[in-house]
Amino acid sequence: MSKGKFIATFQKLVYSLIHRIKVLDTFFWWIGYRTEYLAKIRQPGFRKRILLFYPERPAFFTTIRQLCYPEGVDVTTNPNAPFDASIYWKDATYCELDSTARQILKHGRMINSGCLDISKTRVDAAHRRAFGYNLELDPATHVGVCIRKSNKNYTHDGHMVHCPISREEVDEATRNGFAFFKLINNAVRTPDIRLEGSLEDYVEEFRVPYFAGNIPVCYRKCRPAAVRFTSNNTLVELVEVDAICSAQEIDQIAGLCKDMQFDYGELDVLRDMDDGRIYVVDVNTTPWGPPVDTSTADEVESFRRLGAALISSVFAPCEAEKAS
């Protein structure tokens, strides 16, 4: 067996074991990615790259940290050490650049250094400018059901509210960091034998990775409507962005990201069955991935595409800027 074929076979075995022996997740991921890293850096003509994360080190299961291994990219958190590209990395909804981050910016581009507010209301304001419509509403005048969510990112605390409610209730919720949004009817549209029961029992959403204007692949996620605000997926599959969005909608997504100075991360996108529109409901600058219940084959394929995007959309512009 050739060296390349042996490595590929070993990778598949490791990824398969990950899904069977959950208690050893981190151990198997590390072996698999280390194998890919060693294989990559031994390729003839390979150029090693270093990615600076500041001010925090990315957790092991963040998407970009996992992409670095198979692409042969070293990770550093030392801004005084050599690096080829840098990314502002802080797992928080609201951020502020410190003096070190501003110093890094003086020497070149820093990914996501302008995207310092990813709150629900900030996303919604950018959505209105990019799409011409938005989700936030006034629950004191709205008639029907709406969603109350924390303004902070990644809280999974959506709660249905029957409107209208009193102005006092609205003010109290706002003081406690909540905002109110349209309830999107994102029921599954297409019959699928992999989903048991009625389509109305499930909702679907799309996780959209974004690399400076490049959307390499998307994840379609389906879960029971009863747990719509969780990550308990029944089905996850890879789809192309042009299979879920029109060319105009793709441009509008890019416009939203430009408005937020969002260079890298992932967006959660829903399509409303009632009005046919898409809605970007979350923007995440420090995503973990792939989504829970993604198959081994889809994990490998998605990371192949995302890894290529990391090099072409993150490193290449930084390297071109330094060369000029």
Give residue 230's pLDDT: 81
Position 149 in a domain: yes
Looking at 124, 150, 183, the residue that finishes a domain is 183
Taking residues 226-232, report their average pLDDT: 83
Position 90 in a domain: yes
Strands 85-89 and 110-111: parallel
Strands 49-55 and 85-89: parallel
Position 81 in a domain: yes
Position 228 in a domain: no
Looking at 183, 209, 242, the residue that finishes a domain is 183
Give the dihedral of Cα atoms 114, 120, 125, 126; nearest 10 deg. 50
Taking residues 77-90, report their average pLDDT: 96
**Whether 27 and 107 share a structural domain:** yes
Position 153 in a domain: yes
**Whether 94 and 149 share a structural domain:** no
**Whether 174 and 79 share a structural domain:** no
The predicted-structure confidence for 113-131, as pLDDT tens digits, reads as follows 999 999 999 999 999 999 9
> What is the rounded average pLDDT for all residues in the chain?
87
Range of the domain at 39: 3-115+295-323
Q: What is the CA radius of gyration of the chain?
A: 21
**Whether 8 and 107 share a structural domain:** yes
Position 140 in a domain: yes
The predicted-structure confidence for 240-285, as pLDDT tens digits, reads as follows 999 999 999 999 999 999 999 999 999 999 999 999 999 999 999 9
Position 313 in a domain: yes
**Whether 21 and 104 share a structural domain:** yes
**Whether 29 and 95 share a structural domain:** yes
User: Does residue 319 surpass a pLDDT of 90?
Assistant: no
**Whether 61 and 160 share a structural domain:** no
Find the farthest-apart pair of alpha carbons in the chain and give their distance in angstroms, rounded.
72
The predicted-structure confidence for 20-47, as pLDDT tens digits, reads as follows 454 455 555 556 666 666 666 667 766 7
Task: Note if the pTM is more than 0.75.
Answer: yes
